[in-house]
Amino acid sequence: MTDPILITGCSSGMGREAARALLERGHTVYATARRPETLAELKAKGAHVLALDVTDIESMRAAVAAVEAEHGAVGTLINNAGYSQPGPIETVPVAKARAQYETNVFGLTQMCQLVLPAMRAKGSGRIINVGSMGGRMTLPVNGWYHSTKYAIESLSDALRMEVRPFGIDVVIIEPGAIKTEFDTTAGMGVGIDMDSPYAELEVTNGQVFSGAYGKAAASAEYGAKTYVKAVEARHPRHRYLNTASGRVVVYARHFLGSQFWDAAVGRAYRWR
């Protein structure tokens, strides 16, 4: 019931590893990326390869139409595409923040809108939105990124209740620190101005992320196991926090409150 599986952002990281793992388990997988030539390895393993840019509505429509032409409907949509945009709220240009929302939020939402009519007609389907542990806690210098992941949380919760009567599941995967290409950009801002009042904080943010994505980070292969679990579960959970460290951080933020969180983060960032 969950096939065919359409996955965005398969050129690297957990998207690529999830596609590989699902193929190995015998699923029908449509792997997509802005540059389909990056998907040669997955194609050799049996994936159907499509060009898909979540900021280009025509490419999204074409990809969904290609799957529906062969199968009638997408069985599972995995909204995996997304990226980090660090930087202080005051100094990140709104144009760059808007571009991040176009990929992380609006692209994801438009993909949902495109697959839902055929899913409803079929009476089944599954949408898996890849959020982040950062959708349930916030760090300084990462507010714009966190806000996109908070948006995914609320949109997914609303969508889950709206489409449940049509036999459609909506699931959120909330990765913690996973060693992928993501970590090469997660600690980098839009260029640190050393004359900025936030320069010290931005430098420390890079150090914090380097530590978090070092030896403590899980592999992309480990992270992909959660994707498989969310696809294959007969009754999937609403949320999957896929690292132990992520669960500790999220639960600490939730149960101990904002004063504790601010104090703990302030110490970690050595921020006055």
Q: Where are the alpha helices (DSSP H) in 46-164?
A: 57-71, 94-101, 108-122, 143-163
* Residue 101: half-sphere exposure toward Cβ, Cα within 13 Å: 11
Query: Scanning the structure block, which residue is given the tokens 């579960």?
Result: 233
Tokens of 66: 């290609």
Tokens of 58: 């025509």
Q: Which of 16, 22, 56, 63 is nearest to 38 (CA)?
A: 16
Annotated catalytic residue, options 30, 83, 145, 213? 145
Sequence-distant contacts of 25-33: CB under 8 A, at least 24 apart: 25/228, 25/232, 27/2, 27/3, 27/231, 28/3, 28/4, 28/71, 28/75, 29/4, 29/5, 30/4, 30/5, 30/6, 30/63, 30/66, 30/67, 31/7, 32/6, 32/7, 32/8, 32/63, 33/9
DSSP per residue over 138-161, as a string?
A: --TT-HHHHHHHHHHHHHHHHHHH
198 among known catalytic residues: no
Tokens of 134: 């950062």
Residues acting as catalytic residues = 145
